[in-house]
């Protein structure tokens, strides 16, 4: 019986020596930084300010309290999404820009192009 106790103890001791796999390092995913530089003439402004800046929109879509204004020029198409804040009039909270063929374009560049095309 004593042999079995010693053998069992040795087996447990050897089992403790088994290599324990290390956990893989945790990789954090950083969301892309979306710059708002050059967007200050539009973000946070209401529909009247956008019309004053770009002229009449090519598209004006309303859904509940939200609103989407679309402005198009020879260089790009700008979609401005307006949402109410604190019971006030809706203001631009998000912008999307694309070239007329659908390819992406920098939002600030699109704003500048639309303003320039209106001044002509």
Q: Any long-range contacts for 13-19 (C-beta under 8 Å, 24+ apart)?
A: none
Q: What is the DSSP letter of 20?
A: P
**Residue 116 clears pLDDT 90, i.e. is over it:** yes
The pLDDT tens digits for 37-93 are 679 999 999 999 999 999 999 999 999 989 999 999 999 999 999 999 888 899 999
Question: Percent of the chain having pLDDT more than 90?
Answer: 60
The yes-or-no verdict on residue 13 having pLDDT over 60 is no
Residue 43 main-chain phi, psi, to 5 deg: -60, 130
- DSSP collapsed to 3 states, 88-119: CCCEEEEEEEECCCCCECCHHHHHHHHHHHHH
Residue 115 is predicted with a pLDDT of 95
């Amino acid at each position: 019986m004593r042999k079995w106790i010693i053998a069992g103890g040795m087996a447990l001791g050897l089992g403790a020596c088994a290599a324990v796999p290390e956990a893989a390092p945790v990789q954090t995913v950083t969301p892309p930084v979306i710059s708002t530089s050059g967007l200050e003439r539009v973000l946070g402004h209401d529909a009247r300010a956008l019309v004053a800046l770009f002229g009449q929109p090519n598209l004006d879509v309303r859904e509940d309290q939200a609103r989407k204004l679309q402005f198009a020029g020879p260089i790009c198409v700008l979609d401005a999404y307006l949402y109410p804040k604190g019971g006030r009039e809706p203001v631009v909270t998000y912008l999307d820009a694309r070239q007329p063929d659908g390819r992406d374009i920098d939002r600030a560049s699109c704003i500048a192009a639309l303003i320039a095309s209106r001044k002509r």
